[in-house]
Structure 1
């Protein structure tokens, strides 16, 4: 597939890195130095110039491209870029936007702005936060097979009851499969005798019920199904969208916003959220409002520095779980190293969503793990494909790719894979695979 990416920032670079191995990729950026640097870093073609103009897009052969991805930091630039592409050819256009207003307009009018698929950064980040809140001890959660299957990643704390257990000892659930363990810089494909160590990141796939039960084993002190007390710090668009999505799930969060006018607007738009007008960096205020008793605190302020300060204050007050929105990917590690439970970078979330969509031709669904070290795919098996008619154990032995089948859905029912399970046409298979083997595995379906 020929793909043109407009914007060589964090989002564009991440997408280009994911696609470069299997597709012909051209990257356009206004910064000539950045374009030249990316050419050698990722071994992709680059064009320096304004991606909204027909001349630059013609130089990048947009007219002959299969897909154009507009992912600069400016919404209007991305929309104009997609509109220009439609005048030159028939490329499938993807636009990244921050504004939910543009998203609503696009949803109301088919292919508005010349955009075939739109990803809203703030909404994606909020949805990611809410998924994690729904499974309190997880650091990443994704649904598959229309919700019949759930993938979750857990960081194993030193005090966790499963630390030191073997996979066979920890896996007490009929419809759950351990598919991967990330340990330092290594991905371990777990066997029954694999020991789960503190600081491991364990990935499991199974029914939502079994994943929730396993979450209880990982962190018994955490609420297994929902957090009763959630505090959102910051009435930014991400903060607002997080509260709105939580209300849809019958939560009644509290939200702290410093700006009076913004606080009043949020209170009107969020009938089931208690909105408090105050400076969230005021430790006395946080103590007075019993923020220390919250199950989860989400920091969604306007800067990473403020989010870091409030996150640290919340942890020092005794909040069990803090989720921080971190705008700069370089800061994510900093937040995690000082003890913040989950750092969510909206740009990374957006890049993963766009990458997931570009893979729809080879997979029903996809989740990217650990900075693209592994991926979870959902494949629908066709009649006569190479995966059909063989037991799972034989497939693992015969295919020279590191992968683990985590779940199968058949005729709307969940099937937990075992070594003697034979795959059939029409099965939906959810599996974890080393990123280098994604295309090979997908080609077998």
Structure 2
């Protein structure tokens, strides 16, 4: 497949890296220095130029492209680029936008702006935050097979009941699969005798009920109360959408916004939220408002530095769980190292969502974990699939890469995979796989 990408920022580079091994990828980047760097970093053709220009797109061969992805940081550039691409050929066009207004316009008539699909970064990030809030101990949560299967990542904190247990001892749920362990920078595909240690990050796949039960098992003190009291620092679009989505779930969040005009606007748009006009970095204010008693604090301001400050202050005050929006991918590790529970990067969320479309012919859904060390794939098994008719034990012997079959759904029912479970045509299979082996596995499927 020929893919043309506009923009070589963090989102564009991540998408290009994911696609370059199996597809013919061309990247158009306005910055000549960055375009030259990309030629050496990735196996792609990089062209320096304006992605909205007809001439530049002709040079990139957009007329013969199968997919066109516009993912610069400027909404209008992305939409205009998609419109230009449609004048040259019939690629499937994807536009990344931050403003939900463009998304709402596109939803009224798919194909508006010349875009076949529009991805709203701020909304995706807010949805990600709300999913993580819904499972109090998780640091990541993705839904597969229409929500029938959940994949969650948990950190094993000091004092956790499962610390020191083997996987066999910790895996006490019928519809749950212990898929992987991240031990520092190392990925471990566990067996029953693998010992879970403090600081590990455990990935489990199974029914929503079993994943939630495991979350309770891993940190029972954190799940004895419901997440009702949520404080959001920052009336950004991400902060606003997070509050709106929480309202839809009958939660009444508190939102702190320093700008008087923006605070007034939010108060009108969020009837079931308490909007407070104040500086979220004011420790006395946070103490006065009993923020320390909240279940979750979300730092969602426009500055990574201010988000870090608010998150650290919240932790010092005693907030049990702190989630921070981190715009710069390189800062994610820093936030985690200073004790912030969950750091969510909008660019990573957006790149992952867009990448799903490039794999839709073999993988219906996709999640990327731990800086692209591993992926979770949802595969539809057809009659001609190399996986059909094989037991999991047979596949494990035949395939060289490291993978775990996490769940199988058959005719709407969930099947917990075991060694003698046979994969059949028509099944949907959710697989945890080492990233470097993901392409080979999808090719087999």
Taking structure 2 as the reference length, what is the TM-score of the superposition? 0.98
Q: CA deviation at 1:185?
A: 2.1
* Equivalent in the alignment of 1:330: 330
* Equivalent in the alignment of 1:173: 173
The answer on whether the counterparts of 1:135 and 1:226 sit within 8 Å (CA) in structure 2 is no
For residues 3-402 of structure 1, the aligned pairs below 5 Å read: 3-223=3-223, 226-402=226-402
Q: CA deviation at 1:444?
A: 2.4
Q: CA deviation at 1:225?
A: 8.0
The answer on whether the counterparts of 1:20 and 1:42 sit within 8 Å (CA) in structure 2 is yes
The answer on whether the counterparts of 2:307 and 2:324 sit within 8 Å (CA) in structure 1 is yes
The answer on whether the counterparts of 1:212 and 1:224 sit within 8 Å (CA) in structure 2 is no
SS in 2 for 1:36: helix
In structure 1, what is the Cα distance between the partners aligned to 2:369 and 2:407?
17
In structure 2, what is the Cα distance between the partners aligned to 1:50 and 1:388?
46
The answer on whether the counterparts of 2:7 and 2:27 sit within 8 Å (CA) in structure 1 is yes
SS in 2 for 1:177: strand
In structure 2, what is the Cα distance between the partners aligned to 1:182 and 1:6?
33
In structure 2, what is the Cα distance between the partners aligned to 1:350 and 1:381?
27
Q: String of CA shifts for 1:18-59, please: whole Å, max 9, x gaps.
A: 111111111110111100001001121110010100110111
* Distance change in 2, residues 1:225/1:441 (3 Å): farther
In structure 2, what is the Cα distance between the partners aligned to 1:138 and 1:76?
36
Q: CA deviation at 1:443?
A: 2.3
The answer on whether the counterparts of 2:181 and 2:188 sit within 8 Å (CA) in structure 1 is yes
The answer on whether the counterparts of 1:390 and 1:422 sit within 8 Å (CA) in structure 2 is yes
The answer on whether the counterparts of 2:6 and 2:29 sit within 8 Å (CA) in structure 1 is yes
SS in 1 for 2:307: helix
Higher alpha-carbon deviation: 259-268 or 75-84: 259-268
The answer on whether the counterparts of 2:21 and 2:43 sit within 8 Å (CA) in structure 1 is no
* Equivalent in the alignment of 1:417: 417
The answer on whether the counterparts of 2:352 and 2:366 sit within 8 Å (CA) in structure 1 is no
The answer on whether the counterparts of 1:136 and 1:225 sit within 8 Å (CA) in structure 2 is no
In structure 2, what is the Cα distance between the partners aligned to 1:232 and 1:74?
26
Q: String of CA shifts for 1:200-225, please: whole Å, max 9, x gaps.
A: 11100000000000001111111268
SS in 2 for 1:221: helix
TM superposition outliers: structure 1 runs of 4+ over 6 Å: none
In structure 2, what is the Cα distance between the partners aligned to 1:430 and 1:100?
31
Q: Which runs of 5+ in 2 are unaligned?
A: none
The answer on whether the counterparts of 2:366 and 2:375 sit within 8 Å (CA) in structure 1 is yes
Q: String of CA shifts for 1:314-364, please: whole Å, max 9, x gaps.
A: 000001110001111121111111111111111111111111222112111
The answer on whether the counterparts of 1:135 and 1:224 sit within 8 Å (CA) in structure 2 is no
SS in 2 for 1:154: strand
How many residues align? The count is 445
Q: Which runs of 5+ in 1 are unaligned?
A: none
In structure 2, what is the Cα distance between the partners aligned to 1:226 and 1:11?
35
The answer on whether the counterparts of 2:393 and 2:419 sit within 8 Å (CA) in structure 1 is yes
* Distance change in 2, residues 1:2/1:226 (3 Å): farther
In structure 2, what is the Cα distance between the partners aligned to 1:390 and 1:334?
44
SS in 1 for 2:182: strand
RMSD of aligned alpha carbons: 1.1
SS in 2 for 1:193: coil
In structure 1, what is the Cα distance between the partners aligned to 2:437 and 2:389?
21
* Distance change in 2, residues 1:132/1:402 (3 Å): same
Q: CA deviation at 1:408?
A: 0.6
In structure 1, what is the Cα distance between the partners aligned to 2:258 and 2:105?
30
SS in 2 for 1:84: helix
In structure 2, what is the Cα distance between the partners aligned to 1:226 and 1:16?
41
SS in 2 for 1:129: helix
Q: String of CA shifts for 1:78-130, please: whole Å, max 9, x gaps.
A: 00100000011111111100000000000111200000111101001101101
SS in 2 for 1:192: coil
Q: String of CA shifts for 1:187-212, please: whole Å, max 9, x gaps.
A: 11110000111111110000000000
Q: CA deviation at 1:226?
A: 4.1
The answer on whether the counterparts of 2:110 and 2:117 sit within 8 Å (CA) in structure 1 is no
